[in-house]
Structure 1
Amino acid sequence: MPSTPFLTLALATTLFLNPAVATYKIVDDYTSNTSDFFSLFNFFTEPDPTQGFVSYQPYSSAVASKLIGRMPDNSIYIGVDYTTKLSVAFNSPGRASIRIEGKKSYNWGLMIADIWHMPDSTCGNWPAMWLLGSGPWPHGGEVDILEGVNDAVRNVVTLHTGEGCVVDRMEGGGTASESNSTSYMTRKSGCGGTAPKGSFGDEFNKKKGGIWALQVESDAIKIWYFARNSTPRDLSGGKPDPDKWGKPDMDFRAGGCDIGKAFKKLSIMFNITFCGENAGKTAWSTWTGCQQSTKKTTCEEFVGATPHAFDQAYFLINNIKLFQK
């Protein structure tokens, strides 16, 4: 996307510098039963920077329209309007949805996000869970942890940042994007790779979701995806140890790049948009096949005329936790 530190350099201790003895301890729990999840976020209500066919709602409207809420099992619901028909011809601003931006920011550490459900693999959808740094984009960095468009079933992980930052190599279990896996990350496409099948959309939801883990260090950014039936024991025990998790799905190794400087003051972001620069335009008529399957010439036409197609376009968040060494 389309962006109090994980551990600031000023607070780095000898323990942090010695990973053999350092352990992660929880510093923030965004979804504890005693806190209001949405009070920890700002609601973005400006026009979509990615040109999506979407109308981002403020907190009051989101509550009144039941686009957000806490479920009986304490999971967090973030969804979209799936009942209103919209006319592109009358310059509709787009389908009502949510974009929230965390009030706190982080530099270093470990983020664990347990997601029960995410927007499904429906043409027009463009959901994301990501981190965005401070300053004019892409300076400050952006980490797209969970993102995809239309009928995708594989998650795409992408990094963006300013000039002078190069990923020396991309390792892990995923598949690198050959065109940009070792390039400057200033390009709009960024530097990224594709996670294994089942990590996104319908396939992800069939497995009752899963857990995403992000580790930001001085020389690397690593991301793991764990299906519901393969979660490491140390996650449920509250003492995560990435050294025991095996190869990450994405392991971005810094070459000519100081990760600590390029990715800083990162805030947690969730949003669901439609069409736009990624799910619409050339994607609609070429590589996703949505134009043919929906019989609609444009993405906006389909999203506006077919509201009930998006009744599964929602996140159910079990918990989000931040850890520091």
Structure 2
Amino acid sequence: MGWEDTAALPKAGPATTFEVRDANGPVNFVTHPSPYHHLKLSGDDINMASDGADGPWWNPRYWRKRTWAIVVGVLVAIIIVAVVTPIEVAKRNRYPDYYRIDYALADEYSGTTFFDQFNYFVGYDPAQGFVHYVPREQATQLNLTYASADAAILRVDTSVGPGSEPDASTGRFSVRLESKRQYDTGLFVFDVRHTPFGCGTWPALWLADPVHWPDNGEIDVLEAVNRADTGNQMTLHTTAGCTVDARRIMTGESLATDCHNATDNNAGCGVRGPVDSYGTAFNAGGGGVAAVEWRAEGIRIWQFPRDSIPADIAARRPDPSAWGSASADFPNTNCDVGAYFRNQSIIVNIDLCGQYAGSVYSQSGCPSNCTDFVANNPQAFTDAFWELGAFEVYQRA
């Protein structure tokens, strides 16, 4: 449909002729003091007559049923857009109220009794790692776990080589700890001085219910694989229905938003921190503190380098409302935190190869293949150890 000049018409006068042409109906002439243009309508445009009667196009009394249907459809679409759009915008902009909570110290894992508060996992590795997790007695004998007044160490074995009896052809000795106490919310402050790394390694500090996984969820606080040169990864793993595809306030890079463990080979909804949040750079600065606030409004994780730890943490009066944007933010907008996360133990381990490190080993720049490298190169695991200060768990005061 469009306007065009009508050169054949007479010049303007007191009563000018305005011509309307309808491609599907008769030609109508109306007198109107207007410039000399005529309106061309295609067959799909508004018809000017109804039931054979002629009349002006702008008068609904002369519209055909098809015209009415088109107009009504357009109005309905406009109404739907006008109603739905603000609702969707509001939904996308929803954000939980992380109001200030007063916390009080409930549990502390530190000093020479650090390991007394953990169970040593023994048996088949659920993540299919190339590893033998040993009990406490063997870990002590192999010097894989030991504690002083201010630090606890967890290591991968570096003594068993190709000529050893037995050798490491079926997996290398390592440790996995699970806290004896379980939690259902809280503020967790982890002092970490050295993170493990090296080809074939898959270390993690995390929260989970190891007996009912993934039904009760998993919160990965510190995790990396192989050379660990891409930064720390913070991730949630859940059953179906928990997503974080909503407004988030964080400094980390979102890797995925569906937390379902069956999505993308259990990748979870991860967030990556900067390069210096794990591995060589992190360790060179003396490590730092990782803090997890787990509450009904959501789960947030912060990382603070050693020289930037908030004074309220050092004073044992932590106040997350004063810490600024989290490194990773998992709001409850599309994930009922209380329904997906419960009965969590604190877990620290160093796995080898397995579902994660093994699957990306060939892209890591590491030599040979994962299991052969792990079995035959004990000296490669001298940096594969955790050095931990105190773990502090705070609950609502």
TM-score band by shorter chain is: 0.7 to 0.9
For 1:201, give the aligned amino acid.
G
Deviations, residues 185-223 of structure 1 (Å, cap 9, x unaligned): 543111111011211111111111110000001121100
Partner residue, 1:309:
380
Q: Is the 8 A contact 2:131 2:352 kept in 1?
A: yes
2:393 aligned to which of 300, 322, 325: 322
TM-score by length of 2: 0.70
Name the aligned partner's letter for residue 190 of structure 1.
G
Match of residue 218 from structure 1: 296
- Report the alpha carbon displacement of residue 171 of structure 1 after superposing the two structures with TM: 3.5
Within 5 A, what are the aligned runs for 1:1-325? 19-20=99-100, 22-31=101-110, 33=111, 36-71=113-148, 74-86=150-162, 92-120=169-197, 122-133=198-209, 135-153=211-229, 154-169=231-246, 170-177=248-255, 180-182=256-258, 184=260, 186-187=262-263, 188-281=266-359, 283-286=360-363, 288-290=364-366, 294=367, 296=368, 298-325=369-396
- What SS does the corresponding residue of 1:239 show, helix, strand or coil? coil
Distance 1:274 1:239 in 2: 37
Cα deviations by residue, 1:63-119 (Å, 9 ceiling, x for unpaired): 111111113x520011111121148xx883311000011110001110000011111
After superposition, the C-alpha distances for 1:258-281 in whole angstroms (9 at most, x for unaligned) are 101211011000000111111113
Please, which runs of 5 or more residues in structure 2 have no aligned partner?
1-96
Q: 1:116 to 1:220 in 2, by over 3 A?
A: same
Equivalent AA in structure 2 for residue 158 of structure 1: T
Q: Give the TM-score taking structure 1 as reference length.
A: 0.86
Moved over 4 A (4+): 17-20
Q: Deviations over 1:118-150 (max 9, x none)?
A: 113x11111000001265321100001000101
Distance across 1 between alignment mates of 2:259 and 2:345:
25
Confirm or deny: 8 A CA contact 1:126 1:272 kept in the other structure.
yes
* Shift of residue 257, structure 1, vs aligned partner: 2.0
Deviations 1:22-51 (A, max 9, x none): 4110000111x4x61112111111111111
Report if aligned partners of 2:208, 2:217 keep a CA contact under 8 Å in 1. Answer: yes
When the two chains are superposed, the root-mean-square deviation of aligned CA atoms in Å is 2.2
Q: Distance in 2 between matches of 1:127 and 1:299?
A: 15
* Cα distance in 2 between the residues matched to 1:104 and 1:91: 33
Cα gap change, 1:320 to 1:184, in 2 (>3 Å): same
What is the alpha-carbon distance in structure 2 between the residues aligned to residue 86 and residue 26 of structure 1?
47
Aligned-residue sequence identity (percent) comes to: 37
Structure with greater contact order relative to length (CA < 8 Å, sep ≥ 6): 1
Larger radius of gyration: 2
Q: Cα distance 1:134–1:310, how it changes in 2: closer, same or farther (>3 A)?
A: closer
2:243 touches 2:257 (CA, 8 Å); kept in 1?
no
Task: State the alpha-carbon separation in 1 of the partners of residues 217 and 224 from structure 2.
Answer: 19
